[in-house]
Amino acid sequence: MSDALTRRMSRRLLLGGTAGVVGLGGTAAWALDRYVIEHVEGTVTDSATAAPTGTSTDDGYTSSTTSLSIEKVTTGSGSDTITYFVADISTTDATLIRSAFAQDKFGTNITAYPSVIAKNKNAVLAINGDYYGFRDTGIVVRDGIAYRDKGARQGLAMYRDGSMKLYDETATNAKQLIADGVWSTLSFGPGLVEDGTVIDGIDSIEIDTNFGNHSIQGEQPRTAVGMIAANHLLWVVVDGRSTGYSRGMTMPELAQVFVDRGAQVAYNLDGGGSSAMVFNGALVNNPLGKGKERGTSDIVYVAG
């Protein structure tokens, strides 16, 4: 969601309360209801809240099932500086890569800071997800459970065997995906890498160009996930919109980061002020150069 819309609608809600909703004009009232007021759609079937059992260092974690390392990368200088973080994750059990919803609720406009969601799940490592709650379409399968089945765009399917594939949501359904072994899906996009190659045309694709949303193109803060091989993943969070610290990345630049590290598949998630990486409860990156998280509807995380 656009940062400006969030601020405007939240301010109206705080100033006007319920009476303000009633008094708003049709368009404003619709926007408030659609993009600000919480709507719980279903019950969350939760998984994994056990505390991590492995050993953590400043930039990594190792257990009997999982190892991960986090690298901070800075390139360029001055106004062309880019700062990003790469988490390299290997696990013997793909179901340890999990998702969690803000406030343990599923629906639209339900948010919490990524670090808060991560803490509630005892997550070792977490990144913001696809902000499913900004929209009411897309296939949402999380931890083997279907929550929404309204195919609308290119999605990412993460399988129980640790593999990962791009797919057309409109050509299948949640029930079939689960039957085929899908553990979780993400619905944002676009796909960045397929068969180890940067996908053509990703510098012109727009996602959800509806009311209140802005272009995902240009130099932006980014969050994306990728797979080198089954059960060997890369998560990348790029800071941006902060002159001298990090300008952000274009979509092709982001895709190239994955290709250079051997990813066979990669997929773009929600970015901008939502881009966040949390390790052992602490924020790793510096969103918008301000060091402050923005609320989001979901995270993807590594369970201990």
Across residues 107-120, what is the average pLDDT?
96
What 8-state DSSP symbol labels residue 112?
B
- Work out the number of other CB atoms within 10 angstroms of the CB of residue 108: 19
Q: Which residues contact 163 (CB under 8 A, 6 or more apart)?
A: 227, 230
Structural contact between residues 142 and 130, judged by C-beta atoms closer than 8 angstroms? no
Across residues 240-252, what is the average pLDDT?
97
Edge-to-edge strand ranges of the sheet holding 282-283: 97-101, 298-302, 125-128, 277-279, 282-283
pLDDT of residue 24: 57
Domain locations along the chain: 1-37, 42-302
pLDDT digit string (tens) for 128-163? 999 999 999 999 999 999 999 999 999 999 999 999
Structural contact between residues 272 and 128, judged by C-beta atoms closer than 8 angstroms? no
pLDDT of residue 14: 35
User: What residue type is 268 in one-letter code?
Assistant: N
- How many Å apart are CA 241 and CA 132, to the nearest integer? 23
pLDDT of residue 114: 98
User: What is the rounded average pLDDT for all residues in the chain?
Assistant: 89
Looking at the predicted structure, is the pLDDT value of residue 17 above 50?
Answer: no
pLDDT of residue 210: 55
Across residues 281-285, what is the average pLDDT?
97
Nearest CA to 21 among 7, 4, 35?
A: 35
User: What residue type is 208 in one-letter code?
Assistant: D
pTM score over 0.75: yes
User: What residue type is 25 in one-letter code?
Assistant: G
pLDDT digit string (tens) for 41-75? 776 766 656 899 999 999 999 999 999 999 999 99
Residue 81's Cβ-count burial label (10 Å; 0-12, 13-18, 19+) is middle
* Letter string b/e over residues 233-264, b meaning 16 or more CB atoms within 10 A of that residue's CB: bbbbbbbbbbeeebbbbbbebbbbbbbeeebb
pLDDT of residue 36: 72
User: What residue type is 32 in one-letter code?
Assistant: L
What Cα–Cα distance (Å) separates residue 203 from each residue in 52, 215, 219, 253, 278? 39, 11, 11, 10, 28
